[in-house]
C-alpha cells in the first residue's frame, strides 16, 4: 500500500490529467438561443433567449466527424464543414471549454492518446443516468409532432454512378465501403493537453460531471441520426438535465431529396433543426462565438425569407405558411414570425429580421414594441426586398388614437415602402354585392410576373381595396373593379427610396390561395422580388401519388427498411470491442 507521502502526488497527477494545468481562464459566452414554443392556437412561435455561459462549465461534443463515409456527398459536405469546426473548437478552448471528440467506433487509433486516457480515467459519476450508455431513439416531447423526414433509405443523396466509383475507391484503399470510417477527420485538431476522446455515453457523462459541466454544445454529423440519438447526443443530454444546444450551422443531415418531404438536402436539414427546436433543445450558430457570419455550405444559395404574419381577417397564419411550404420550400430558408395569441402586435421571433434577405408581410393594424418595429425599419433601410399581401398596406397604421407606451406605428409604410395609397375598401362582401373583377393590366401583359396568366377577367371573393394613385415609378400589373366604379390598382412592383425591390397585391383572401393564377403570381413575385431568376423546387418523384408524410415515428423508422450500409453498420456495432459500456443495442448507430 502506498505511503501517506505518495498519495498526494498521485492525486495531483490524476487531477492534472483531468483538469490540465495552464488551462485558459474561462471567458463568458454571450449566446442567443433559438427555440420554438407551442402557442395556444396550435402554432409554434420562434423564441430567442439571450444567455451568458461560463466557458469552464461548457463542453463541446464533436459527433462523428469521421475521416470517410459511405455517402460521397456527405464526405464533400464534411470537408467544407471541418475547417469551420476546427476554428470553433479553438475559440471554445480559449474560453475554457472542454472539447470532447466523439468519432464513434473509432477508438482504437487513439488507444495511447492522452485525450483518450483523460476520458477513460474520469471518476465514475454519482448521478449516472439510466441508459446513458445506449442509443436514444426518441424522447416523450417528440411524440407531440410528426418526424419531419423520411430517412428509411439511409439518407444517401449520391449520384448512382459517382456512388459506385466512390465505393470502388474505398475498397481499393482497403476500407469497407459500407462503413469506411477509421478515425476523426484530420482537419479537426485534437489538443492532447486539454481535450478528451470518447464515443461512450458513460465515459462522456463522467467527464462532464468531473468538470462540473452543465452546459453542452453538440455539433457534427448527422443531425437526424447520430447527433440526436447517440448515447452522448442531444436527446440523452436533454432528458438527463443538461443545458444542451445544437450548433445548427455546424451540422448536416443524411437526407435524400427523393424521399418525403421531397425538398432539397439543405431544406431537409432545416426541417430537422426545426424539429429539434420544437421538441428537443434550443440551437445556436457558430458566429455567436467567432464573431463573423454563420457557416453556409457552398451549394446552399437559398436566401432567408422572413414572413411576418399577424392579422385576424384572412387566415394568412394558415394559408401563407402552407403556400411557402408547398411552393417554395427548397428555394428559400424560411422563418415565420407570428403575432402572439395573447398580444398579436408582439411579433415572436422578430430578431430573424436582422438576417432577412426578403420579407413577406401579412400584418393588419398592429402596434409592435418599438424595438421590433425598429428591426423592420433597419431591414427596409438596408434595402431588403419586401412582398406585401392584402393588409400589408395598413400593417402598422391605427384607424384612430395613439399606440400604448413602448409601442410603435408606421402609418407611412404603405406609401414609403410599398408605393401604395390605401385609403379604404369597397364594401362588396355580401352575397348580393357586385364581385371584384380582376385582370392583367393591358400594358403589363408581357411582364414576367403576369405573363401567361388568364387573359380574361376573373372574379375573386376579396372585397376590393382603394389603392390609387400609386407612387411615381410604380409598375402596375393588375387592376380590380367593382361594378361601375373605376378600376383600382390590385398588384404592382416598385423600388423604394432605399433601393429595395417591392411587390404588393391586395389579394390574399383564403379563396385566393385556391386560385392557380394567384398562386403563380405570388410565387413568381416572391422569387423575382428576392432577386432570383426562378425557383429551384424539386418535383415529386414519378409514381408518388401524394406528398403527405409517411408513417415515421422518428429515427427508429430506420429499422423498418434498412439499407445495406445500415445493416453493415449494425453488424460492426454488435461486434465492436472498443472500450465502454455499450451493449449491442447501444452500439447500433443508424448512420
d(CA 211, CA 216): 12
Structure confidence at residue 590 as a pLDDT band (50, 70, 90): very low
Task: List pLDDT tens digits, range 215-231.
Answer: 999 999 999 999 999 99
Specify burial of residue 112 (Cβ count, 10 A radius: 0-12, 13-18, 19+): exposed
d(CA 544, CA 260): 10
- In this predicted structure, what is the pLDDT of residue 572? 44
Tell me: domain 304-529, CATH 3.30.70.1290, correct?
A: no
Task: List pLDDT tens digits, range 183-215.
Answer: 999 999 999 999 999 999 999 999 999 999 999
Task: List pLDDT tens digits, range 470-482.
Answer: 999 999 999 999 8
pTM comes to 0.90
Q: Which residues pair with 436 in a beta bridge?
A: 460, 482
**Fold match flag (21-294+566-574 vs 304-529):** yes
DSSP H or E segment with residue 38:
strand 28-38
- In this predicted structure, what is the pLDDT of residue 542? 76
- In this predicted structure, what is the pLDDT of residue 555? 43
- In this predicted structure, what is the pLDDT of residue 435? 86
Q: Above 70 in pLDDT, residue 428?
A: no
Q: Above 80 in pLDDT, residue 561?
A: no
Q: Above 60 in pLDDT, residue 392?
A: yes
Q: What is the dihedral of CA 138, 141, 145, 151, to 10 degrees?
A: -20
d(CA 172, CA 193): 36
Task: List pLDDT tens digits, range 147-171.
Answer: 999 999 999 999 999 999 999 999 9
d(CA 162, CA 330): 24
Residue that is written with C-alpha cell 418523384 in the block: 541
What sign for the dihedral angle of Cα 135, 140, 142, 147?
A: positive
In 58-195, beta strands by DSSP E: 58-63, 98-102
Q: Above 90 in pLDDT, residue 585?
A: no
Domain ranges of the chain: 21-294+566-574, 304-529
Mean pLDDT for the chain overall = 90
Q: Above 60 in pLDDT, residue 63?
A: yes
Q: What is the dihedral of CA 244, 250, 251, 252, to 10 degrees?
A: 160
| CATH class of the domain defined by 21-294+566-574 | alpha beta
- In this predicted structure, what is the pLDDT of residue 551? 59
Percent of residues, the chain, with pLDDT higher than 90? 81
Of 430, 499, 440, residue with least CA distance to 461? 430
- In this predicted structure, what is the pLDDT of residue 546? 62
Q: Above 80 in pLDDT, residue 64?
A: yes
Q: In degrees, to the nearest 5, what angle opens at C-alpha 290 toward C-alphas 375 and 93?
A: 145
Residue that is written with C-alpha cell 440526436 in the block: 228
d(CA 342, CA 329): 29
Specify burial of residue 218 (Cβ count, 10 A radius: 0-12, 13-18, 19+): buried
Percent of residues, the chain, with pLDDT higher than 70? 87
Structure confidence at residue 128 as a pLDDT band (50, 70, 90): very high
Q: Is 33:245 a contact under the CB 8 Å cutoff? A: yes
Q: Which residue has the higher pLDDT, 379 or 562?
A: 379
Most distant CA pair in the chain: distance in Å?
Answer: 107
> Edge-to-edge strands of the sheet including 358-363?
343-347, 333-340, 304-310, 358-363, 386-389, 501-505, 488-495, 475-482, 436-440, 458-460
In 90-135, beta strands by DSSP E: 98-102
Q: Which residue has the higher pLDDT, 493 or 587?
A: 493
- In this predicted structure, what is the pLDDT of residue 550? 67
Task: List pLDDT tens digits, range 9-57.
Answer: 433 344 444 444 344 455 689 999 999 999 988 899 999 999 999 999 9
Amino acid at each position: 500500500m502506498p505511503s501517506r507521502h505518495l498519495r498526494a502526488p498521485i492525486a495531483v497527477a490524476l487531477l492534472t490529467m483531468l483538469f490540465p494545468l495552464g488551462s485558459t481562464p474561462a471567458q463568458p459566452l454571450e449566446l442567443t438561443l433559438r427555440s420554438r414554443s407551442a402557442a395556444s392556437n396550435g402554432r409554434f412561435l420562434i423564441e430567442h433567449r439571450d444567455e451568458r455561459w461560463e466557458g469552464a462549465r461548457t463542453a463541446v461534443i464533436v459527433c462523428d466527424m469521421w475521416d470517410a463515409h459511405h455517402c460521397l456527398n456527405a464526405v464533400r459536405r464534411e470537408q467544407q464543414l471541418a475547417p469551420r469546426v476546427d476554428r470553433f473548437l479553438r475559440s471554445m478552448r480559449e474560453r475554457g471549454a472542454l472539447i470532447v471528440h466523439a468519432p464513434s467506433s473509432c477508438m482504437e487509433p487513439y488507444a495511447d492518446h492522452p485525450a483518450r486516457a483523460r476520458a477513460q480515467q474520469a471518476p465514475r459519476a454519482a448521478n449516472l443516468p439510466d441508459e446513458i450508455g445506449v442509443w436514444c431513439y426518441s424522447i416523450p416531447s417528440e411524440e407531440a409532432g410528426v418526424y419531419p423526414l423520411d430517412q428509411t433509405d439511409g439518407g444517401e443523396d449520391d449520384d448512382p454512378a459517382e456512388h459506385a466509383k466512390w465505393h470502388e475507391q474505398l475498397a481499393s484503399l482497403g476500407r469497407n465501403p459500407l462503413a469506411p470510417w477509421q478515425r476523426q477527420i484530420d482537419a479537426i485538431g485534437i489538443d492532447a493537453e486539454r481535450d478528451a476522446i470518447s464515443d461512450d455515453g458513460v465515459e462522456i457523462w463522467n467527464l462532464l460531471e468531473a468538470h462540473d459541466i452543465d452546459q453542452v454544445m453538440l455539433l457534427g454529423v448527422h443531425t437526424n441520426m447520430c447527433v440526436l440519438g447517440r448515447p452522448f447526443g442531444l436527446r440523452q443530454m436533454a432528458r438527463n438535465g443538461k443545458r444542451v444546444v445544437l450548433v445548427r450551422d455546424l451540422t448536416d443531415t443524411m437526407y435524400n431529396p427523393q424521399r418525403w418531404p421531397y425538398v432539397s438536402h439543405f431544406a431537409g436539414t432545416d426541417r430537422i433543426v426545426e424539429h429539434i427546436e420544437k421538441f428537443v433543445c434550443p440551437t445556436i450558430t457558430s458566429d455567436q462565438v467567432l464573431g463573423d457570419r454563420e457557416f453556409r455550405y457552398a451549394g446552399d444559395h437559398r436566401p432567408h425569407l422572413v414572413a411576418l404574419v399577424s392579422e385576424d381577417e384572412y387566415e394568412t397564419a394558415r394559408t401563407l405558411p402552407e403556400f411557402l411550404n408547398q411552393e417554395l420550400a427548397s428555394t428559400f430558408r424560411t422563418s415565420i414570425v407570428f403575432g402572439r395569441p395573447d398580444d398579436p402586435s408582439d411579433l415572436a421571433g422578430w430578431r430573424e429580421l436582422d438576417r432577412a434577405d426578403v420579407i413577406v408581410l401579412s400584418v393588419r393594424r398592429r402596434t409592435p414594441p418599438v424595438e421590433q418595429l425598429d428591426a423592420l425599419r433597419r431591414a427596409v433601410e438596408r434595402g431588403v426586398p419586401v412582398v406585401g399581401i392584402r393588409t400589408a398596406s395598413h400593417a402598422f397604421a391605427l384607424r384612430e388614437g395613439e399606440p400604448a407606451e413602448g409601442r410603435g406605428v408606421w402609418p407611412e409604410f404603405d406609401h414609403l415602402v410599398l408605393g401604395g395609397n390605401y385609403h379604404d375598401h369597397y364594401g362588396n362582401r355580401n352575397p348580393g354585392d357586385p364581385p371584384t373583377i380582376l385582370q392583367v393590366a393591358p400594358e403589363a401583359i408581357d411582364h414576367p410576373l403576369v405573363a401567361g396568366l388568364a387573359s380574361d377577367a376573373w372574379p375573386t371573393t376579396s372585397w376590393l381595396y382603394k389603392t390609387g394613385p400609386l407612387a411615381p415609378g410604380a409598375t402596375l400589373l393588375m387592376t380590380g373593379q367593382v361594378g361601375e366604379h373605376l378600376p383600382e390598382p390590385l398588384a404592382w412592383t416598385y423600388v423604394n427610396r432605399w433601393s429595395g425591390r417591392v411587390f404588393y397585391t391586395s389579394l390574399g383572401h383564403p379563396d385566393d390561395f385556391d386560385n392557380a393564377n394567384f398562386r403563380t403570381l405570388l410565387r413568381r413575385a416572391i422569387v423575382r422580388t428576392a432577386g432570383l431568376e426562378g425557383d429551384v423546387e424539386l418535383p415529386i418523384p414519378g409514381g408518388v401519388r401524394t406528398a403527405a408524410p409517411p408513417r415515421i415515428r422518428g429515427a427508429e423508422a430506420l429499422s423498418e427498411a434498412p439499407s445495406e450500409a445500415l445493416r453493415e453498420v449494425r453488424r460492426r456495432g454488435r461486434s465492436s470491442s472498443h472500450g465502454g459500456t455499450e451493449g449491442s443495442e447501444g452500439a447500433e448507430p443508424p448512420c
